[in-house]
Structure 1
Amino acid sequence: MQGQAPTPDGQVADAVTGNWVDIHAPAWSRPYLRLSRADRPIGTWLLLIPCWWGLALAMLDGQDARWGDLWIALGCAIGAFLMRGAGCTWNDITDREFDGRVERTRSRPIPSGQVSVRMAVVWMIAQALLALMILLTFNRMAIAMGVLSLLPVAVYPFAKRFTWWPQVFLGLAFNWGALLAWTAHSGSLGWGALFLYLAGIAWTLFYDTIYAHQDTEDDALIGVKSTARLFGAQTPRWMSYFLVATVSLMGIAVFEAALPDASILALVLALAGPWAMGWHMAWQLRGLDLDDNGKLLQLFRVNRDTGLIPLIFFVIALFA
């Protein structure tokens, strides 16, 4: 499908209707912003939220919130936008042949001919260098963690070629910010950060399995693996396991961060975060319809709210 004509005005099939890229961005920039998924902001949120989890629990762990943490929070937001863009560009470069053969992805900038592979590489490097400038404002340990994050980012696009569990590799990449932001605040890692990272991976398995079910038929035809294809009709049962794992691991992370220095009230408030998150995930399970792609995309997108729920409780706990 390489070189296929783009959809009208170059819009991507699964972009948010009326998004700012298609309406307000200069025409010359739209193919590149679409390549970065700027017209589909949910991915930036899913990359950013674990960063903010890690920062909030690191402050709870050390009982030492500082004004500099505001920059860490803002720097993570800018960095998430840039690195999500760079990662998506890398993903589209490596998947360009597959994307041209899948109904949902064939309108993306590279398979539709809007952006050449060479210019996509240039765009990827530019985004990564800007993100590096943000990273260099953090402490040395956080910089090292940021550099290490490139490994799972580089491997992820190839995972679906050799494993039925590519969502694990996505989780490794998308939740690395929990480790990075924790380290940016504290200068070192703790057990709380590691359990939080594992909780994020379980959450990624939950929401990205929903997302992958949109493409199961096309993926089967071209030989691409995913947890959606692996689980099939048993997906709801597996997702309930991921729900329990997410809540349990995040609860352990809260205990590790809050004890022994935080107050009992702070501990209870922070523990309410994963509990409330679990109820939101259970609500998604009740509305799951594996044969309705519109519903699948809708449920995938509401995971921004799912991830923000525990963050709200973590922040409140800081003031308890």
Structure 2
Amino acid sequence: MTDARQAPEAPDQVVADAAIGNWVDRYAPPAARPWLRLSRADRPVGTWLLLLPCWWAVFLSAASGDGLGWKGAWIILGCAIGAFLMRGAGCTWNDITDRDIDGDVARTASRPIPSGQVTLRGAVIWMCVQALLALGILLTFNWVAIGLGVASLALVCVYPFAKRFTWWPQIFLGLAFNWGALLVWAAHDGALGWPAGLLYLGGIAWTLFYDTIYAHQDREDDALIGVKSTARLFGENSPVWLGGFLALTMGLMTAAVDLAFDTGSSGRALALAGVAGMGLHMVWQLRSLDIHDGERCLKLFRSNRDAGLIVVLGFALATLI
């Protein structure tokens, strides 16, 4: 039996860091699998990490304002579809720019472009299709949100190159992945506000936390090919830095809630409970971390979906109040 974590020679090969038995490998038509893998549909945690700051923003804006309404309900659904599409387009762009690097890294050599499952031309077309579909959703929002959505493309374009010129590529990922907090707040509220900005900054600190954990899987390969990351920068001191990012995440998100609600509001208490729950989850991750165990790092990275959903739950309950 072929090990699902090794790249077989068959054209329909699985991707090394995808979960064994994921829905793409099991249920998707064979012809569609390379394209879905290029979009990371077989590794959905990235879609969640892009989506969660959007949901934080819509629920916190609704809880501190006039509620969700039909507009809020559409924003929630539209963001879910848009996050899937834009994460797919962004990952396709990332693999296009990294096509010469990915073949030299054990974990990424089985991806569709370096393994030959998808051509460069096909990847470019697929990226454009996904981006245009996402644009259709964006155009249903107000003009402030549309402008913010277009502006985010600059961050998406730059991110894949960041690891070539800075030790802090995770900051660029955070800037791009949490942009939805600003966009969605504007889509729901009609304008930006301080809580949105603090949610955005808190999300960036959270990204530094989880993506540094993720980057420890590739630390040795990255050193060989000259790719930079916070995992390589921090080395054995990573737990100390991660503790700092944890504290910064909690401080900024707590401040966002404080600004969004009046003191003594029951909605505020529920929202803060969600933030606190996320903080406890991150503490558990830090206590469980072994930076020399790649499987453990991947498991903890994936668990951040649950950490972010705890905040969504707290903010959603605050909306009901």
Same-fold call, TM > 0.5? yes
**Distance in structure 1 (CA, Å) of the matches to 2:72 and 2:134:** 18
Q: Which digits, 9 at most, give the CA deviation of each residue in 1:53-100, with x for residues without a partner?
A: 010111123233212211100000000000000000000000011100
What does residue 4 of structure 2 align with?
Answer: none
Deviations 1:254-274 (A, max 9, x none): 0111137xx521111111121
- Whether 1:133 aligns to 2:116 is no
Aligned to 1:207: 210
Are the aligned partners of 1:209 and 1:228 in contact in 2 as well (CA < 8 Å)?
Answer: yes
Which residue of the partner structure matches residue 28 of structure 1? 31
Pairing of 1:52-63 with structure 2 (within 5 A):
52-63=55-66
Structure 1 counterpart of 2:319: 318
Q: Secondary structure at the match of 1:28?
A: coil
Equivalent AA in structure 1 for residue 192 of structure 2: L
Which residue does 2:285 correspond to in 1?
Answer: 284
Which residue of the partner structure matches residue 18 of structure 1?
21
3-state SS in 2 of match to 1:16: coil
User: 1:306: which partner in 2?
Assistant: 307
Counterpart of 2:3 in structure 1 is none
Q: CA RMSD in A?
A: 1.3
- Is the 8 Å Cα contact of residues 61 and 256 (structure 1) preserved in structure 2? no
Asked whether the 8 Å contact 2:15–2:110 carries over to 1, the reply is yes
Q: The residue matched to 2:15 in structure 1 has which SS? A: coil
Preserved contact between residue 12 and residue 30 of structure 2 (Cα < 8 Å): no
| Separation in structure 1 between the aligned mates of residue 194 and residue 83 of structure 2, nearest angstrom | 24
Write the distance in 1 (CA, Å) between the matches of 2:265 and 2:131: 42
Distance 2:48 2:243 in 1: 23
State the percentage of identical aligned residues.
65
- 1:77 corresponds to: 80
Q: Secondary structure at the match of 1:74?
A: helix
Residue 5 of structure 1 deviates from its aligned partner by: 7.2
Does the 8 A contact of 1:212 with 1:227 survive in 2?
yes
Aligned to 2:156: 153
Contact 1:7 1:107 in 2 (8 A): no
Q: Please tell me whether residue 234 in structure 1 is matched to residue 269 in structure 2.
A: no
Which residue, out of 49, 55, 60, partners 1:46? 49
State the aligned residue count.
315
Farther-moved stretch of structure 1 (307-316 vs 61-70): 61-70
1:169 paired to 2:172: yes
**C-alpha contact 2:113 2:119 (8 A) present in aligned 1:** yes
CA distance in 1, matches of 2:9, 2:110: 6
Measure, in 1, the Cα distance between the counterparts of 2:11 and 2:116.
Answer: 13
Partner residue of 1:269?
A: 270
| Partner deviation per Cα, 1:101-158 (whole Å, 9 max, x = no partner) | 0010000000001111110000000000000001111111111111111111110000
| 2:12/2:34 contact within 8 Å kept | no
Q: Structure 2 counterpart of 1:66, which letter? A: G
Q: SS at 1:62's partner residue? A: coil
**In the aligned structure 1, how far is the partner of 2:9 from the partner of 2:309?**
35
**Structure 2 CA distance for aligned equivalents of residues 66 and 55 of structure 1:** 11
Q: Which amino acid aligns with 2:306?
A: D
The answer to whether the Cα contact below 8 Å between 2:17 and 2:107 also exists between their aligned partners in 1 is yes
Distance 2:27 2:313 in 1: 31
Q: CA deviation at 1:52?
A: 0.1
Which residue of the other structure, out of 220, 225, 228, is the alignment partner of 2:228?
Answer: 225
TM-score (normalised: structure 1): 0.96
Q: Which amino acid aligns with 1:49?
A: L
C-alpha offsets along residues 260-316 of structure 1, whole Å, 9 cap, x if unaligned? 7xx521111111121111110000011101111111110000000000011101111
Contact residue 6 and residue 114 of structure 1 kept, 8 A: no
Shift of 1:248: 0.4
CA deviation digits over 1:156-211, x for unaligned, max 9? 00000000000000000000111111111011000000000000000000000000
TM-score for the superposition, normalised by structure 2:
0.96
2:253 corresponds to: 250
Distance 1:189 1:59 in 2: 13
Give the 3-state SS of the residue equivalent to 2:105 in structure 1: coil
CA contact (8 A) 2:100 2:114 kept: yes
Question: Which residue identity lines up with residue 144 of structure 2 in the other structure?
Answer: M
Contact (CA 8 Å) 1:93, 1:120: kept in 2 or not? yes
Instruction: Give the partner amino acid of 2:229.
Output: S
CA distance in 2, matches of 1:266, 1:40: 34
